[in-house]
Amino acid sequence: MLYGFKALTLTYHTAPVEVRERYALNEAEAKQLLQMLQEQGIQEAMVLSTCNRTEIYYSSQEPQEALLFYALGMLKSYPIDQDKQYFLHLGDQREAVRHLFEVSLGLDSQVLGDLQIINQVKRAYQWAADLNMAGPFLHRLMHTIFFVNKRVVQQTAFRDGAASTSYAAVEIADEISTAIHEPVVLVVGVGEIGADVCRNLVGRPVGEVIITNRTYEKAEALAAETGFRAEPFDKLDALLHKADIIISSVGMAQPLFNKERVAALPIASFKYFIDLAIPRSVAKEVEDIPGMVVYNVDDISQRVQASLETRKQAIPQVRALMEEGLAEFEEWSKEMEVSPTIKKLKNALEEIRQKEIAKYLKHLDEKERAAVERVTKSMIQKIIQLPVLQLKAACKRGEAETLVDVLNDLFNLEKQAVK
C-alpha cells in the first residue's frame, strides 16, 4: 500500500473504564501527542479520544506500535507496558479505513448511532490539520466519511430519536423548552450519566444550566468544560426553587427529592423532574404535588428502546451507504498508488522530447520554435493517454502492479524522480 494507513485503538470493547480513563486525551494532549509523532518522522496522523475510546490513526509503511506506546506513556506519565493487552493494532490499511468509517458513522459506538461521535471525529481531524498532520490520504478519507455521514442522516432513520438515557433526558428538556421559554436547568450529580447530560445540553435551546454535585470540584471541572455554572451541593434547596427542569442522577438509599422537601418550596410555576437514578432520586409521591411533573427511568427507557429499534432496522441501509463510500475511496487510493508511475512516465517522455527538439530549435526562428513545441507536446499527450487509461483500468481490476513493472522496464522509470 502506498500510504500504509494503520490504527492503534483502545475501546470499550477491549478495556474497562478505569483503563480508558488513564489514556483519555484533551485537545492540548492530543496535539502534543501529534507533535511528538511528527518529530519522530510520522507525517500523517490523527488522534481521536472520547469517553469510550482513544485511537491513533497514522500512515507509515512500517508498523509503529512501539513508538506510539512510548509517546502515549510519556505523555500520560504512566508505565504503559502493563496495559498493552487492552490495545488493538490494525496494521492492514483496508481494516483501519473500515474501522474509522464504522466509528465515525456510529456503528461501533456503545450507544448505537451516537450523535456526538461525528463531531468528535471532525474535531480530531481539525487538530491534525492544524498541525499539518493531515496529508492527501487523510483529507480524502475524512471528506469521504463526512459525505457518507451526510447521506446517512438524510436517507436513513439511523440518527433519529434518543438512544441513550442521558440523551433522552435532554430531548425531554428540549420538548419542555417549547412550553417554557429558555427554562433554567439544574443538573444534580455528575457521574457518567450526569456528565453526559451536561455535554448533551451544550448548544440546546434552554436558558441557564446549573450543575451541582456532592463533590463540588467535579461539578466545577464539568462546568469549566461545558461553559455552564457550578454551585455547591448545600445550596440545593435554593437551586431547586430557581430551576424549571431538574435532571437528577444521584443514587441514594432514600430519594433525594422527597414529598416534604418539594412541597415546602414556594412554587409559582410547573417544575419538571427527570429522574435518571436507580434507586430513584425523586419520590413517587412528588407527582401528587400540583404543578410537579416527574419522568422516571421507565418512562425514559421506553423512549430509548423505541429509538434503538428504529436504529437497528436502519443498519443495513447505513452499511450499504458505507460500502459505497469505501468502494469509492478504495478506487481513489488505488489510482493514487500508480500516480508516481504516471508522473515518471510523463517525465521520461518529456526528457526524450526535449533532447530531440534541442537538436533543431537553434536553427528555427521564434515562431517556428513555438510551433514545434506545440506539436511535440501534443504528440506526447496522445502517446501517454493510452498507458494512463490502461493503468487506471488495471487499478479497478487489481492488476496495476504487472503493468507498472512493464512500464518501468520499457522506459527505465526507476531512474526518474517524481517532479
3-state secondary structure the chain: CCCCEEEEEEECCCCCHHHHHHCCCCHHHHHHHHHHHHHCCCCCEEEEEECCEEEEEEECCCCCHHHHHHHHHHHHCCCHHHHHHHCEEECCHHHHHHHHHHHHHCCCCCCCCCCCHHHHHHHHHHHHHHCCCCCHHHHHHHHHHHHHHHHHHHHCCCCCCCCCHHHHHHHHHHHHHCCCCCCCEEEECCCHHHHHHHHHHCCCCCCCEEEEECCHHHHHHHHHHHCCEEEEHHHHHHHHHHCCEEEECCCCCCCCECHHHHHCCCCCCCEEEEECCCCCCECHHHHHCCCEEEECHHHHHHHHHHHHHHHHHHHHHHHHHHHHHHHHHHHHHHHHHHHHHHHHHHHHHHHHHHHHHHHHHCCCCHHHHHHHHHHHHHHHHHHHHHHHHHHHHHHHHCCHHHHHHHHHHHHCHHHCCCC
Q: What angle do CA 314, 320, 324 make, to 5 degrees?
A: 145
171: number of CA atoms within 13 Å, CB side?
16
Query: What's the rounded Cα separation, in Å, for the pair 338 and 357?
Result: 29
| Residues paired with 50 in a beta bridge | 53
Query: What's the rounded Cα separation, in Å, for the pair 223 and 232?
Result: 12
**Who's near 241: CB < 8 A, 6+ residues apart?**
265, 266, 267
Tally of CB atoms within 10 A around 346:
18
| 116 touches 198 (CB < 8 A) | no
Cell of 225: 468544560
Residues marked active site are found at 51
